[in-house]
Amino acid sequence: MAQVRPMRADARRNRERLLAAAAEAFAEYGEGASLDEIARRAGVGVGTLYRHFPTRQALLEAAYLERVEAIAARADAIAAGRPAGDALLAWLDELAAGMLQVRGLKALLGTAVTGGGPACGDCVRGAAARLVGAAQEAGALRRDVAPIDVLRLVHGIVTASEAAGEVDGTAVRRYLSLLMEGLART
């Protein structure tokens, strides 16, 4: 069995600098930020970037992992204090707000809502499954709605809101309310 060696201190520092530079560049330019620019900002060569993150997707996922996990964790906190249907709507609103406010996050979660995607999408899909299941049990959501359906619809709502230039969240909340009303019908 192969033994995993711990990362050298300089490699750990390079990785952390790359993640900080990536988060900054993704916030500024979105998911299409130049990888060469990210390496330059981190003070490393592009080869070092690729050794740590072999693909743009891997870098995007690593840069936003904590944020995605925090959004997913909010599902349980929200569910603790609200009826199931209201909790699902409130969490979806926070998820959509995150996708609107954090450039690159929508692209990352877009791959997660295809049913596969990055490992960090697992926590979002799991949160959605818990909230959708609870809403279905409470009779607030149709039984034939799958959690992935809801995530795809929210991703579509965010995309539509951006296309319409409505990025303050007002349109998203309206669209989410309409969505939930439609999904509640049997």
Taking each continuous run of H as one helix and of E as one strand, the counts in the chain are 9, 0
What would the mean pLDDT of 15-19 be, rounded to a whole number? 94
User: What pLDDT band is residue 3 in, cutting at 50, 70 and 90?
Assistant: low
What pTM was computed for the model?
A: 0.82
Beta-carbon neighbour count of residue 65 at 10 Å? 16
**pLDDT score at 118:** 60
The H or E element containing residue 166 is none
Of the chain, the percentage scoring pLDDT greater than 90 comes to 52
Instruction: Find which of 52-61, 108-117, 136-145, 166-175 is predicted with most confidence, using mean pLDDT.
Output: 136-145
Q: 81 falls in which pLDDT band (50, 70, 90)?
A: confident
**Average pLDDT value for residue range 2-18:** 80
Neighbours of 32 (CB within 10 A): 12
- Domains assigned to the chain: 9-54 (1.10.10.60), 64-184 (1.10.357.10)
109-118, long-range: CB < 8 A, 24+ apart: 109/68, 109/151, 109/155, 110/155, 111/57, 112/151, 113/148, 113/151, 113/152, 113/155, 115/148, 118/57, 118/61
Residue 154, pLDDT above cutoff 80: yes
Average pLDDT of every residue of the chain: 88
